[in-house]
Every structure is written in structure tokens, then in C-alpha cells.
Structure 1
């Protein structure tokens, strides 16, 4: 009887455990992260009764947790991708909305500015038209400031998001480490772990994974090691290795992630966060925000430099050479706060060639007595010394500051160094990073606008032939070698030295103290005449240059140039000289207006508006890419969650069936015990 009673009792206990487990599933069905549990029963060892082995009942071997590691990892990967994509999209959408807004975009302001230049050209002598040009320049500067300010707000927003996300990650890490401790303490039998604690920890890891993509490695006593990136630790056993958002060592306005230390913090590379919201924020800043700030700055710096170059070739209402119309742009220089305190090395970076600007950032490092310049995209850097000589291969980006003539130029910027650097010094150079914020009009007096050209040309009043002379142009070096007075050129026919019976056409009266060049209509150099030459052959339609030579091959002439065309008569004269009556002259203004449609930026392949449009197009395409990615990642998460829940989720219909099954088992086991009791009572009655 006792054996039958014992069998009934074990069945009753097993059914009771099944009812409790099923009830636990039902009541926790809506709890996030809860994993379905089930009772695993096993048979108790049978008893040998001589006639054979008779069963002794059942036992609960395990409360099984229906968990699939593969499906869980699939879900975590999908959630990490979604977290990164959604964080990226939330930020880039703001830039896309800003750049596409016609009320605050740069394109209308650029058009309005050049419309102001054209208005000034139409009536160059009027004060009102010149003041209108100044006003449109100030409006353009204000628009650059507005766009730059909005981008800086986004930069600040990313800083806040990075800081808050890192703080949240640290909180998750501490809680997971504490759960590791509790789970290890509660794990007496590896086959019977504390399932509810495991669920809590897995749910926290999934939530952490949405913030930063993590890798999970099993450890002793059911503990887990949590890492990110290429193995950077976050949780090791019961210890949480906390991170911190700190100021970038080269940019105090930029928050980066580091392992804090009492001495020197260890900066963690942005690329280590390849997923999750934190990765999305950092990817957005690195791939889009930095690029847009640099490219908007490139438009600002390129315009200031090229417009100033042309403006300086003009002449203002006072008859003086033109000054800078816009304030010259300086590049951002970030000295690494970790540099040696003994370092006194300083660098000044200015924009010197709009066409060569790349919109990239550069790192300057000092080691073994040499500076090395590295471009952020890995592109080749070729430095040019103060004499204009490119550094030789293969070390085109490395130099000894003590021996190389300064300033040093590369990629459209000029770099001037001072002081004594220390071994290991690191400096970040961002030539166009702050250009939009610093873009401003330099002149305030309308009379200083240089719309006139500094030279004047014209035919003699007594000419009888059909020759003409162009208005003439000057280049960037003319102001250093101006013509002091009018030069009068005379067309004549002189005997041909090769055949005195014939004549040749010549131009006479060229200045003896200047070098002369002759180029064809395509700009190809035809002849160079040394200082002292006053007579050259006449070739209609060729461009004649008067100025100072530069030792290049082919020779480049710095100065003034003009073209004489047609068929002059013998004795006809043409003059070229200083412009002494340029109040109504707009020749330089026309050249200034022409900059709007001239391919200046990106190595002469894009206009100002074209370069800006390329940035807008990049942002639009990237935004669309992230929108598609967000929709795809949402679908992936939904599918991965469905797959995971098909194994681990609680099905209430199934649990209701189990509830009935265990109820019936409980009642049946109770009936066994009841029968055993009745049989025992019968035996007692017989014994009486």
C-alpha cells in the first residue's frame, strides 16, 4: 500500500509543479523578455519485487526554459541594426529638411548675392547700386551663419545623445553585472538555473544591444561576458567596465567615448560602435554631419578666396587697387590636449587656392624630428614648400620643419609653423570646418567695391586702319608690377630681314623693362621675348602679355595682357596703361559676376551652387537610403521576433490546454492516493 501511496504522491507533486509552472507562464505572458517554461518529468528508479521491477512513481527533473540561442542572436542583430538606422535617420532627416527648405537654403542667397553684383555692374557709378551689393553680401554671410548655426545645433544634439546613451549603457552594464552575481549565487545545479533571473538578464542585454551592438560570451556559473566592437569589454563576470562621454582631445565641442582613468583616458574609436543607437549617432556625425559642415565650409571658403582674388584685381571708386571683399578664412587647428606640456609648436592654416580644396580633415603628427600630414580619407597628400617645390617621392607628406622653407601648401591651404614641437605631438587640421561660421563681408564702404579694371586700352584717335584692341586683362601678380604710365604701341611695316624686298608687320614701342609673351587664342605659348625687346612681329588675334616672368616651363607671365586684331594701317597706334577714369567702368565687376557660373571648386569641376547642390543631393540620397533601411530593419525585427517567440513565447491557448492536462493529472494522482487509502483501511478492518 505504501508503494501505491508513494506513487500517487509523486504524481500529485509533479502535477502540482506543472500547474504552478503553467500558471507562471500564463501570468507572465505579457512580461517583456519572459521565456516560456515547461516541466520535464523523469521516472523514479523501480523496485525489484522478485516477480520483476515495479515502478515507484515520477519526479520533476527540470523546469526547462524554452530558449534558442541562435534565434535570440538573430533578434539581437536585427534590433542592433534597427537601433543604429533609426538613430541615424532621426538626425539626418533634420539636415535634409533644412537644406531642402528654400527659405534657409544657401542657393537662393547665392543667387541674390550675384544679382546684387549684376545690379552694381549696371550702374557702377551709383552709390545705391553699390550699397545694394554690400547688403546682398551681408545677407549671404548671414545665411552661411544660419546654416552653420543649425549644423552646430545638430552637433550639440549628437553630443547630448552620445552622453545620454553612454550613461544608459553604463546603467545596463551595472545591472547585468549584478544579475551575473545573483545568478551565479543561485546556480546550485547547472541543469536547474534560476530561469526568471536569466530572463531578466537576457532582456536587459537585448535592451542594451539596441543602444550598442554587443557580443555575449558564456562564462562559469551561468554568468555572461558582454563585449562590443572588436572585443572591448563591457561586463566581465560581476564587474562592469563603465565608459564615459568626454571632450575630444582635439575639439572641445565634440564628445567622444572613452574608458575613463585617473591619469589619461583611453579614447575608443568611433568605428568600434558598429551598431545600436550609439553607433548610429557616431556614424551620422562621422559620415554626414562632418561632411556637410566641411562641404558647406568649402563653398564659403572657396567663394571668399576666389571672389577676393578677383576683387583684388579690380579698382575702386577712389582709383585704388581692390581689397578683400570677404574676410579671409582661416582653418580650424585642434591641438591635442595629450601633447607634451613642453611642446610650443603652433600652426596657422589659411585658405590659398579655392580650386584645390578637398573638404577633408587632416592629422599632423610629429615623430623622429619630422611632421607627417595624413588625410582623413586616406588620399595622397603632396606638400609644396615656400619656393613652390613639391616634396619628392615617396615621402610627399613628411618634412623636417627646421629645414623646409615656409609657408607650406597642400590641397588648397597654406600652413605656417612656429615654435618647437615635441615628440608625439598630434594636431588636427580642419581647413573648412568653421569656414561658414566665419564667413563675413570685409568692407563697409561702398566706394571700396572694385568694379573697374586697373588698366585701360584704346586705339589712337588718328588711326586709319581696321585694327582693334581688346579691353585687356590682368592676373593676380599685376598689382606688384603695375604699368606706371601709358604704353603706346605703333603698327608698322618694316623690311623683312630675310628678304629686304619684302616687308613684315610689326608692333613697336613695347616697354623695354618688361618681358613679352605671345599666345594663340587657345592660350598656347607661341613666343617669349626677353627684357629689352621693344618690337615684335604682329600676328592678328594673338594675346600679348606685358609683365614679370616666373621661372616655370612653359614660362608663365604675371601682369597685363591684351589682344590686337584686324588690319591696322601703317602708323596706327594703340595704348595700354593705368585706368585713370574708371568711375563708370564695370569690367572687373563683370568678371566678379562671371564667377557665379565658373567651375572653380572641386578641382575646377563645380560652381559654388553646383558644389552646394552636390551636398544637398548627397544628404537627400543618404536620407532615402536610411528610410529604406529603417523599413527593412523593422521588417527584419518583426520576423526575428516572431521566430524567437515561436520557441520562447507564451501561447495562452497552449497553456490553457496544459492547465487542463495538469489538472486532470492532479485529480488522477489524488484518486490513486484515495484508492491506496481505501485499500489500507480494508486491510485494517480484516486485521480486526
Structure 2
């Protein structure tokens, strides 16, 4: 090979080196760009009799510096960071909402019970009664407002899930298209580096939406999956995700695949990492629990306050009614139920103490209805079915009617909408039942020192036939140390300490000082030393305008352990919610800082291989420039020698 050709090959090699270096420099800040280098090789030698002489150089490849292990580590770190960033942004909104000392629930609860206490102190005052109603209205408004705000966050999560799924599908299609282009342009000697970088950058952006797993496919293609192997890209084909409303709750967006017009939901457990994973984690771990717990407090307050209010007497002399409207649980009928089914499920919160924050699935197996507590999978069978009376499960009364079909499904959310649905049942101050429905008396004509307590009533008093409509007079017989005169047809229970003894109706009841005596839902106690034939009366409260005994019991509900099986008050339950959300928010912030550090470290490691070092490239630029100039000098010398040879012939 001539010296001219050798110089030309060096010139061309240096030119490629200059172009590659220049491309590195100009793309130093291009996202996803990997540093490239021109790989130079000897073109071989020729035998000249005395030995082998080189024939020049060539560029065998332009290779990009890329480490798949480091790239995967960076993607994993970025997926975790994106999930935590999204989760933290969302949970901070809930934390700020619930912990607000002005707009939170605690001040409104305190104001409400202050109003109850004021009305109890002044039961005849219409102003105090109106103030109680006003504070109750404010409390209802606070519950409604908090629930509405949480509902707005849930709606926002739905919108972002739909948006993220759309972006995921877009990236998946573009990656599949690039797979085809890269496969067509790849050879055994060369690969389209810029397209490989573009594909890797798309993987990076996709990975920030949902954590993906990338594996090598055929002909330089990549396969992309997520979760437990759910496909997004396989070779030249992309698999699109889809979203639709839950068949049992139209306000909840689910993610899955659609094939043949049928939607197949993906379990939330596979939607991990990235923004989508953060949204799903926030909705399941924080938002739903916050909404359910807030609703649990609202439903617990309404149910327990109503129960006590009904045991009181209003200013019209009537028994109290519901103070708050009863809480109806949300029941979602699965849209996939058989069209032949006419089954309906209704659920009403009846017991504040047994109420949980869980949702429930009601399913018909062809013979029986089963209620599954979704928080732990506990199953309770509706028995008997068909029902003769509603069945109470975890403080919720279930009523099922109609003709079901096998596989019928219903979603019951007892507390999810309770805070939103809470409302007052009365607006008339005279209907506030602050008085007790009974009154007791020991006539002044009694000869002994016996005394009778004011008495109280329980839920049994509301049973038909138990209410006292005329005075009941009890007479003491000293010889037998017993009382008689109890209402006919009603057994009498005497409780001393923790021991209760029931005496059949019409049987004289032995007297034990300070023992609790109960019949028909009425409880009282007699103390002292009654004389023979002394009498005590228990009758209707006919002048209870100034009575506030039931009001005191209503006010006492504030500090009574009613919630969570009698272990917490309304306010401690709310405080537990605030603390739980606050702790999760702080944990997310700490984890977020650790994730940021992990991304920084992974980026540094990845860039140490694939990143462009401008100082190094500047040095390479000078090196290739010198090589170019030297090769040009070789060609110049070759030209001079050629001219010399030609001049010899003249």
C-alpha cells in the first residue's frame, strides 16, 4: 500500500476521532447520552520480501461506554426515589389537613361538647339549647369539610393514575418502535449508539412512572416487564395498560389490561415503584385509612350519641329521637353481577364500639352469603339465610333481600362516606332530650330513713311495654325485709357488687342496701333503713323542664371509651389518626433523603463510565488534531516523493 494511502487512512481515522470527540462535547448535557469512542485498528500488513509492512489504519467501531449493571442500579434507585417523592407530596397534604389546630377535628369536637355541657347546666335556657345545636352544626360541617378534602385528594389520585398509565403506554410504544429500528440497523460490527441512548432514556423515564425489569431480547431488542412479570414491551410489541372505574365503586380507578373488550384488573401489589407505585401506596396505606378512620369517628359519634339521646326526654315530654341522622354504610353492587339477580344489600351502623375501619366484601356462593373483612380476611356467614332479622357484624347491621345469583358480589364500606354523610336529625331546640324519662321519690310521710336514687334507664326501657306511664309504688315489708309492688310481668334483677340475682315477676324482692335494682330497663338503688310499709315511687318525669340528667350522660360521652371495642374516646381515636399519618409522613421524608443520596451515588457511578468528561474530551481533541495534522504531513511527504519520482523521468 502506498504511503499516500497510509496517510489517507490516518487522516480519515483522525477525522472520525475528532467527530466522535466533538459529538461527546456537544452532547455532554444531553439526558441519557453515553460517551462514545472511536475504536481504531490496524488494517493489516503486506509482505515485501524483507518483511511485513503496515498498510495503515481504520476505524473498526464507534463504541459507547455503557454498563448495564450500573444502569440498572440507577433505574432502581430512581424508581424508589420517584415513589417516595410522590408518596411524600401526597401524604403531606393529609398530614397538614388533619393536624391543623384550627381547621382540624379536635377543636370542633371540643366546642360541641362544650355546647352540650352548657345546655346541661342550663336545660331550661333556649339560648343554651340553640348554642348546642349551633356547635353540633359546626361539628357536622367540619366532618363534611374534612371528608370532602380527602375526597378531592382521592379524585386527584385517580386523575394522576390515569395520566401515568397514559404516559407508560406512550413510552412502551416508543420503546417497541425503537426495538424494531435498532434491530434493523444493528450489524455484527456496528450498533446505532444514538438510538440505544434514546431507548435507555425512555426506559429511565418509564421507570420513574413504574419500576420496570429489563431483559435482553433477540436481535438487540429489549423486553420490559413490571411487577411480577407483567409485560409492557416484548420485542416489537407493546402491551398497553388500561384504567377503568371499580365495578363496586365508581369513584375508584383501577389499573389492568383490556383484551377482547374485557378488563382484567391487576392487583395493587404489582404496581410498585415510580410515581404510579407512590400513588397506589398513598391511596391504600394512608388515604383510605384516613377516610375510614374519620368516618369511624363520625359514625361512632352519631351512633353512640343517638343511643343515649333516645334514652332522654325532651321539653315536650317525649322520648328523645335521633340527634344525628343514622349512618348508612356505602354498598356497591358489582356491575358484573348476573343480570338475573335481584339481590340487594343494605347496611346500617348500629354499634359504635364494635365498628372497625375495614371494608367488607359480601359474596353469594350459590347457597350462602359470606361477609369477608378485607383487612384480615375474616369470614362471617349470614345465618340464617334467607334472613328473619338483620344480622350485626362488627357493629353494622346487614339486611339482604331479593333473589341472588351465584357469584354475586357487593362491596360494603361502613365508614368511608360516614364523615361526608353526617348530618343533624333535629333543628328544634325543644326536641333536645336533656332530661331523664323517669323520676323517683320517697314520700315525706315515710317513717324510716330510706332514700332512693334518681334512677336511670338503659336500652331495654325502649322495648315496647317497658316505658313507665304511671307511677310504680314499692312497699317495704319489715318482717320479710322485702319490697313488693313491682310491675306485673317484669322480672326484677338485684345486683350486689358483680353478683346479679333475678327474681321472677310477682316475687317479693329482698332488700339489700345500695344494691342496684333493675326492671324493664329502669335501674335505681335504695339506701338507709326504711320502716315497715314505707313506700318509694318510680314514675314518669312529668316536670322535667329543668332536669338535665340525660344531658350529663350525653356530655360524659366525650371522655367515655366508646371506640375500638371500648378502648378509646372520639378524640383519642382522632389523635391516633393524626399521629399515624404524621409518623408515616416523617418516615417518608427520612426515606426520601436516603433515596436522594442513593440516586446521587448511583448517578456518580454510572456517569463515571458513561458520562462525558469535558477535560478528557478536550485532551482527546488535541490528540486527534495532532494525529490529523501528522497524517496530513504524511500525505504531503508522499505527494512530494511522488513529484520527485515524476521529475526523474524528465
Rounded to whole Å, the distance in 2 between the matches of 1:104 and 1:273 is 34
Pairs within 5 Å for 1:347-362:
347-362=345-360
Correspondence for 2:593 among 631, 654, 657: 631
Is the Cα contact below 8 Å between 2:217 and 2:235 reproduced in 1?
Answer: yes
Q: Which runs of 5+ in 1 are unaligned?
A: 382-396, 496-504, 548-558
The 2-side partners of 1:478 and 1:603 are apart by: 24
Instruction: Indicate conservation of the 8 Å contact 1:451/1:586, yes or no.
Output: yes
Residue number in structure 2 paired with 1:31: 30
What corresponds to 1:604 in structure 2? 566
Matched, 1:508 2:456: no
Counterpart selection for 2:413 from 427, 430, 444: 430
Cα-to-partner distance string for 1:649-674 (whole Å, 9 max, x where unaligned): 00000000011111112222223333
Q: CA separation in 2, counterparts of 1:510 and 1:567?
A: 20
Q: Give the number of equivalent residue pairs.
A: 648
CA offset digits 1:424-477 (Å, max 9, x no partner): 222111001111111011012211111111111121212343332111111112
1:561 corresponds in structure 2 to 523
Please say if 1:66 is aligned against 2:28. Answer: no
Measured after TM superposition, the shift of residue 353 of structure 1 is: 0.6
Give 1:224 deviation, angstroms: 1.2
Please say if residues 80 and 275 of structure 1, whose CA atoms lie closer than 8 Å, have aligned partners that are also in contact. Answer: yes
Whole-Å separation in 2 of the counterparts to 1:401 and 1:574: 46
Q: CA separation in 2, counterparts of 1:166 and 1:206?
A: 16
Superposed, 1:252-263 pairs within 5 Å as 252-263=250-261
Q: 1:461 aligns with which of 444, 467, 470?
A: 444
Tell me what 1:556 maps to.
Answer: none
3-state SS of paired residue (2:628): helix
Deviates more, 1:93-102 or 1:593-602: 93-102
Q: Does 1:519 align with 2:495?
A: yes
Would the aligned equivalents of 1:226 and 1:236 in 2 still touch at CA under 8 Å?
yes
Q: Find the counterpart in structure 1 of residue 551 from structure 2.
A: 589
> Are positions 1:536 and 2:535 aligned together?
no
Q: Distance between the aligned counterparts of 1:509 and 1:218, measured in 2? A: 92
Give the SS at the match of 1:40: strand
SS across alignment from 1:437 = helix
Question: Which deviations, in whole Å up to 9, do the C-alpha atoms of 1:200-250 show, x marking residues without a partner?
Answer: 111111011111111112112211111111111112222222223321211
Superposed CA offset, 1:537-565 (max 9, x none): 21112111112xxxxxxxxxxx1111112
**Structure 2 CA distance, aligned partners of 1:682 and 1:261?**
79
2:394 to 405, 408, 411: 411
Check conservation: 1:369, 1:400, Cα contact below 8 A: no
Give secondary structure in 2 for the equivalent of 1:116: helix
Q: Contact between 1:321 and 1:479, CA under 8 Å: does it hold in 2?
A: no
Aligned equivalent of 1:493: 478
Shift in CA distance, 400/673, structure 1 to aligned 2, threshold 3 Å? farther
CA distance in 2, matches of 1:400, 1:220: 59
CA RMSD of superposed structures (Å): 1.7
**C-alpha deviation, 1:401, in angstroms:** 6.6
1:664 aligns with 2:649: no
Once the two structures are TM-superposed, the CA of residue 331 in structure 1 deviates from its matched residue by 0.3
Pick the aligned partner of 2:326 from 325, 328, 331: 328
* TM-fit CA distance, 1:567: 2.9
SS of residue in 2 equivalent to 1:453: coil
Structure 2 distance, partners of 1:52, 1:365, is 90
CA contact 2:439–2:538 (8 Å) conserved in 1: yes
Q: Distance in 2 between matches of 1:352 and 1:39?
A: 78
- Determine if the alignment matches structure 1 residue 642 to structure 2 residue 627: no
**Match among 346, 352, 368 for residue 344 of structure 2:** 346
Contact 2:34 2:65 in 1 (8 A): yes
Structure 1 window deviating more from structure 2 (321-330 vs 249-258): it is 249-258
Match of 1:470 in 2: 453
Q: Is the 8 Å Cα contact of residues 366 and 405 (structure 2) preserved in structure 1?
A: no
**Which stretch has the larger CA shift, 299-308 or 677-686?**
677-686
Shift, 1:183, TM fit: 1.0
CA contact (8 A) 1:517 1:525 kept: no
Matched residue SS, 1:574: strand
Partner of 1:119: 118
1:651 to 613, 618, 622: 613
Equivalent residue runs for 1:358-397 within 5 Å: 358-381=356-379, 397=380
Partners in 1 of 2:593 and 2:69 — Cα distance? 23
Shift of 1:109: 0.9
Q: Tell me the TM-score normalized by structure 2.
A: 0.96
Evaluate the alpha carbon distance shift between residue 511 and residue 371 of structure 1 in structure 2; reply closer, same or farther with a 3 A threshold.
closer
> Quick check: 1:371–1:401 contact (8 Å CA) kept in 2?
no
Range with bigger deviation, 101-110 or 272-281:
101-110
In 2: Cα distance, 1:107 partner to 1:466 partner: 47
> Displacement of 1:400 after TM fit?
6.8
Q: Deviations over 1:479-515 (max 9, x none)?
A: 22123422222333216xxxxxxxxx33333334210
